[in-house]
Chain A
Amino acid sequence: MTSDADRTRRFNELAEAYSTDLYRYAMWICRNDALAKDLVQETFLRAWRALDSLKDVGAAKSWLITILRREYARTFERKVPKFTDVEKVVVVDDAELEPDERVERDLLRQGIMKLDAKYRDPLLLQVVFGHSCAEISEQLGISKSAVMTQLFRAREKLKVQMQRDGVTGNVHELF
Chain B
Amino acid sequence: MSMNFSEFKKLIGADPWSQDPEVLRARNSAPEFEQAASDAEAFERKLQSALHVQAPTDLLKDIKKITQQPTQRRNWMPLALAASLVIAVGAVSMVWKQSQQWDSVEAYLADHYSHDGAAVLGHTSDDISEQEIAEMTGRIMASLNASAGKQLTGRIKFIKFCPTPEGRGAHMVVSTDQGPMTIIFMPGTQVTDGEMVEFDQMHAYMVDLEHGSAAIIGRQSQAVRSLEALVRNSLKTDMVGA
Contact = CB atoms under 8 A, between A and B. Distances in A.
B1 interface: no
Interface in B43-58: 43-44, 46-56
A54 to B, nearest CB: 14
Contacts of A127: 44, 47-48, 51
A165 interface: no
Interface stretch (B91-99, B202-210, B227-235): B91-99
Contacts of A109: 50
A79 interface: yes
A27 B53 contact: yes
Interface residues of B, number: 40
Contacts of B43: 155, 159
B94 A133 contact: no
A48 B55 contact: no
Q: Is the interface of A mostly helix, strand, loop or mixed?
A: helix
A123 B66 CA distance: 30
Contact of A90 (B10, B52, B71, B78): B52
A15 B71 CA distance: 17
Interface stretch (B117-125, B135-143, B212-220): B117-125
Given A79-B91, A79-B125, A89-B54, A19 B13 contact: no
Nearest to B114: A45
Interface in A10-56: 11-12, 15-16, 19-20, 23-24, 27-28, 33-35, 37-38, 40-42, 44-45, 48-49
> Which of B53, B62, B69, B118 counts the most chain A CB atoms within 10 A?
B53
Given A27-B53, A108-B46, A48 B14 contact: no
A148 interface: yes
A62 B5 CA distance: 34
A139 interface: no
Contacts of A34: 122
Given A90-B54, A127-B47, A156-B13, A78 B64 contact: no
A65 interface: no
B131 interface: no
A91 B54 contact: yes
A77 B92 contact: yes
A92 interface: yes
Given A34-B122, A151-B15, A78 B92 contact: yes
Given A8-B67, A44-B66, A152 B13 contact: yes
B63 A44 contact: yes
Nearest to A111: B50
Contacts of B123: 78-79
A172 B231 CA distance: 46
> Which of A37, A148, A159 counts the most chain B CB atoms within 10 A?
A37
Contacts of B93: 78
Given A15-B63, A108-B46, A133-B15, A124 B53 contact: no
A20 B55 contact: yes
Nearest to A33: B56
Contacts of A24: 51-53, 55
Given A38-B122, A105-B50, A108-B46, 19 more contacts: A12-B64, A19-B59, A19-B63, A27-B53, A28-B53, A38-B118, A38-B119, A45-B114, A48-B71, A74-B78, A86-B53, A92-B52, A104-B46, A126-B15, A127-B47, A127-B48, A149-B14, A155-B13, A156-B13
Interface of B: 10-11, 13-15, 43-44, 46-56, 59-60, 62-64, 66-67, 69, 71, 74, 78, 90-94, 114, 118-119, 122-123, 125
10 closest cross-chain pairs (CB), A and B: A91-B54, A79-B91, A152-B13, A148-B14, A108-B50, A23-B55, A151-B14, A152-B14, A34-B122, A15-B63
